[in-house]
Structure 1
């Protein structure tokens, strides 16, 4: 079954549950079950491990489609793809064998645990420490804003495994290492009690690590190579801008529905506003598609720019649709307000838009 058809199978479940999930701040179990059984989770995983072998263009397309139904689920999916792709790229044969088939089948979800309260968006000052012991490593620290916390079966944890050398890095620090940590590892506790304004059903919360012991084989990539792996993420072409594309599409469809329901087609000014909105949606889609194709002279820069541009357009389209809807958009439970809050959240997700600007502009200094 084609991936597009698999997403279509999720359509009714996501559309039906999005509003309730936003109200409760929790992902309904039927949605999670549908996601696991859809086959969509294996898109970024090589065929030999049960996946579809999709590239960034494919994952961006699916993330955008899911985001048009429920951005919270799209964020969970994006993070799952990101970790899956890193394991496929950097994992040992043993790690690939252990994780990828489970992630492809939907039995397991993956999540990234990088951010920390007070650590900064650039991840150069993290407090989580990894200490080598005879049988592996001991991790101690706390991660915040982990999407999929409590839902994931494996976390990609960023920790300081040795003292930084003082090398000048824009994102991450020397001496940092990635670890694959199973959710069942002793000492790992996930807390989903974070009450977010947007992306409320994304299970974004805290992951605490207290004397969390992991085997030597938990290290993903060479020890101390986390900044190199992080840099490769943006080179991949996978972009959170895809979430913003889906949000912008959904907001535009709300505007179209409003115009048709009230028979406002004869109003030229409204038709022209709708044309402008359609143009913005297409522009966001175009920059995200280009990032996924990786055909620009600098794919990493294209990926960063796609997030900046698409997330800005997502917020702008939502704001314009709110104005176009008039008083109906002032109702608390109107879906445009959920989309607007979710649109704002994308710009704050790592790398934040301000950090993206810094990463793009650094070579100019």
Structure 2
């Protein structure tokens, strides 16, 4: 259904598909593994076309549309939602920075679900801001590259077909476009870092399961090892050394992980309402008023995510940071309050409220992690 995301969202996320997403979320929480059947349904749904331009077979969606789609998926399965979010982010970066050849080759496949994309930026010891990468890209005499290193906390590891890999190439962007503004003192990334698009079929890339997570257990978050990973210069995304500029564009797009948090918070609130109704507690002001307060907080988070996607604020990138901060902390608070409301059942490891709280906590730790969001926000004030 490329080209009709807004009109097709309700029909695509049918009650049957939503039930299957929710079933997979509960099962993945127990097994710690992604549900490949559900990911296959995601590929077939048409939703992966959201961030691909229409001229390349996509829906032409902006940050606002991405946020809506991600929120709706997250209300049923947060793990699948962050896999979709990363796919949308890579699609948008190729649309913005890719060569004509890269766009023609990759974007139609990203739109129709043939190719599922993931981001491999983080690594142990790099810090939240990714300023100390140990992974490297070495340019050979013929212009091709060899990538080395290990990326950690890669969402979609082992299920994605294409990885957007961030490595240090050791030199600033000699071929960057003239007139580009200098990066701020505190940035996400560092000078001399470059992005590469690496096919999962490349023998030099090896996605592996990572350490067991408390939340987002169906997200296939793991490790990506690069060993003598040879790629052509046509795999480089954007100018050499210009990764910080590309990363900054992610925030300016208005697409935000806060949308996942809103979906999680909605699911938690619905769980609390069902619990209260089942026990006849909605007639108790102490319960119903508290739920009303939680509903108001949910709407405030949703409104800020929508404002970020609309890009109507004077500084859209700053609003995107605020939306991630506010929505993720709000989701944690709502999940915790609902767990308290459900009493002893909310303390069970397989309880819905407990699972949603673990997922909500995961968003606060995802890039940019909330402490880094605060640091970037403060830096922008200067």
For the criterion TM > 0.5, the same-fold answer is: yes
Matches within 5 A, 1:1-365: 2-8=8-14, 10-133=17-140, 134-163=142-171, 168-365=185-382
Q: Deviations over 1:87-139 (max 9, x none)?
A: 01110010011111111111110000000101101111101111111141010
Deviation at 1:12, TM superposition (A): 2.2
Residues 153, 210 of structure 2: 8 Å contact kept: no
Gaps of 5+ in 2: 2-7, 174-181
Query: Which segments of structure 1 move beyond 6 Å, counting only runs of 4 or more?
Result: 164-167
SS of corresponding position for 1:117: coil
Change (3 A) 1:193 1:174: closer
Supply the distance in 2 between the matched residues of 1:258 and 1:118 (Cα, whole angstroms): 43
Residues 10, 38 of structure 1: 8 Å contact kept: no
CA RMSD of aligned residues (A): 1.5
Q: Deviations over 1:140-191 (max 9, x none)?
A: 1110000000011110000111246998442211111110110111211000
Gaps of 5+ in 1: none
Supply the distance in 1 between the matched residues of 2:52 and 2:190 (Cα, whole angstroms): 28
Q: Deviations over 1:246-265 (max 9, x none)?
A: 00000000111011111122
How many residue pairs are counted as aligned between the two chains? 365
TM-score by length of 2: 0.93
SS of corresponding position for 1:210: strand
Supply the distance in 1 between the matched residues of 2:55 and 2:63 (Cα, whole angstroms): 18
Residues 194, 237 of structure 2: 8 Å contact kept: yes
SS of corresponding position for 1:32: helix
Supply the distance in 2 between the matched residues of 1:173 and 1:56 (Cα, whole angstroms): 25
Supply the distance in 1 between the matched residues of 2:33 and 2:69 (Cα, whole angstroms): 22
TM-score by length of 1: 0.97
Supply the distance in 2 between the matched residues of 1:22 and 1:290 (Cα, whole angstroms): 32
Residues 251, 317 of structure 1: 8 Å contact kept: yes
